[in-house]
Each structure stands twice: as C-alpha cells, then as structure tokens.
Amino acid sequence: MSVSLAKLQQLKRQAGAAPARPPRPAQATGADLSLDHLRSLLRVRGRGPEPVVRGDRSLPGTEIAPGLFFVEEFLPDPEVPPVLDGSFDRGEPVATGDVLFFDTESTGLAGGTGTRAFMIGAADWCGPRLRIRQLTLASMGAERDMLDAFAGWLQPHTVLCSYNGKCYDAPLLNTRYRLARRTSPLPGLRHVDLLYPTRRSYRGVYENCRLATIERHVLKIVREDDLPGSEAPAAWLGYIRGGGSALLRRVLVHNRQDVITLSRLLGWLAAAAD
C-alpha cells in the first residue's frame, strides 16, 4: 500500500515535529581563551576571595624577638614566708625564692610532636611581690626564641611548680626543645606537681579536682568572663591565620590567672600541712 508524500507530511504534522538538536557550541578562538574561559572548560574552580583581616591584631607586652611577645608585671604579695613546709608533697621544705610556677597553653592535649606550646606563663616570688611573666608566639618561626627565653628563667636551684605539669607541660616542652635542637633545662630540676597532693586532700569532696574547681571552692577565686582552656587552640590558630587578637588576649588573661592560682594553692597546701 503506497502512501503519498502529502499524506506523510500530514502524519508528521499530527504527531508533532521532532525536537531540534541543540546547536553545537561555537569553537573558541584565540581571543576567547581567557583564564576564566579555560577554567570553565577544564571545570577548575577559581580561588575564593582572600581572607579579610578583621579586628585589632595587637598583643600586649614587648616584642623581644620577631613574632615573640613578652609581658611582665608585679603584684603585691607581702605574706610569703621564706620557707614553706614540703610535707604536703612528701618532700623537703621549699624555699619560696627558688619556686617558679609555670603553665603552658598549647594547640592540643594529645601531646607528641604535632602539639605546639604557643604560650608559656610563669610566676615567682621576688621579695614581697609576685612577678608574672608570659611569652606568646605571634609567629610559628619564633618558637626557638621562646624556648631560649624560658630557659633563661631557670637556674640549677629552681623548683618547678605546676598543676599536672609532670604529665603534660614538662613533657611537651621537653619535646619542643628536642625538635628545636636545644637542650631542655627541665630534667634534673625538682618539680612539685600540685595536682597529686590536691587529689589526696579533695578527691570525692568536689565534683572533680580540676584547677578551676579547686580555686573556686578552696581558694574562693571566681573568674569572670574566663575563656575555657579548650578554646585556647582555636584562639591562637585563628590569630596565626590572620584573625584579630581579641580571643588570644583572653587566653593571656586565663594563663595569667593560672599561675597566680598556683602560687595561692602552694601556700594553702603548705599551711594545711603545718
């Protein structure tokens, strides 16, 4: 059965026209091969906008080396005896003029070579005053200068005093000295870790024996607007990546109070042992 051409055309019109093929993209000429055009052809994403530095980036203290800031202050503390009873730590008497309280702020709690101490706080008694010193890294390249400065604060007769420093702060600093190809000044020094006598005295009395808990219940010290230590790593990393220094300054305040609390706690434990 034959079908005329006119009939075929009529059937096509009734069925609807076939969808037209999409036009082939025009081939780019040399003038069209811009960087953006090449990225679109290769499906490569362009760089995002550069980060904008927001807020004040200044840090308190003096820049004693490129990227290393130093803060020093003195607080009146006239009631410190020349010698403290060391029986609370099952040790010998402690000459207060030899004690150096210290605390670090670091990039994490895991320890090991990947953890860096970006702040070291220390306090010692100078006659009727408590001297507070702090070192802060504003640049990763200043770590050796920070370690050298801290080593200069230590003498062979120094008595280190910390809170969990035997398990964390001292090993962390020893690792950083080793990685910096420096001899650590910490081994060989007497180290009084106040965590252990505090646990013996207050385990089960309060919800835990964290330093903040002991200072609140025992020493009656209440911190206002304190930045938790868990937020310190993000505060420093944010600054290193170009952010403002507001949070890092709060870490300095937190670290300062830590070493002040250590001095008060040592006096409290020694007096309770008399």
CA atoms within 13 Å, Cβ hemisphere of 24? 3
Average pLDDT over every residue of 258-265: 97
**Residue 109: band (very low, low, confident or very high) from pLDDT cuts 50, 70, 90:** confident
Percent of the chain with pLDDT over 90: 71
**Which single residue is written with the structure tokens 């001292």?**
170
Residue 75 makes CB contacts below 8 A (sequence gap 6+) with 129, 130, 132, 260
Between CA 244 and CA 252 the distance in angstroms is 14
- Which pLDDT belongs to residue 108? 86
Average pLDDT over residues 181-206: 96
Return the H-helix or E-strand segment holding 102: strand 99-106
Measured on CA atoms in the order 190, 233, 111, 141, is the torsion positive or negative?
Answer: negative
Residue 111, pLDDT > 90, answer no
pLDDT above 50: residue 110: yes
pLDDT (0 to 100) of residue 49: 44
Residue 2 predicted with pLDDT over 80: no
58: tokens are 């200044």
Average pLDDT value for residue range 200-208: 94
- Whole-number pLDDT of residue 180: 97
Cα 184 versus chain centre, distance = 21
Q: What 3-state DSSP class applies to 174?
A: helix
CA proximity to 122, closest of 258, 249, 270, 267:
258
Determine contact, residues 177/184, Cβ cutoff 8 Å.
yes
Contact at 8 Å (CB) between 108 and 230?
Answer: no
State residue 192 phi and psi, 5-degree precision: -100, 110
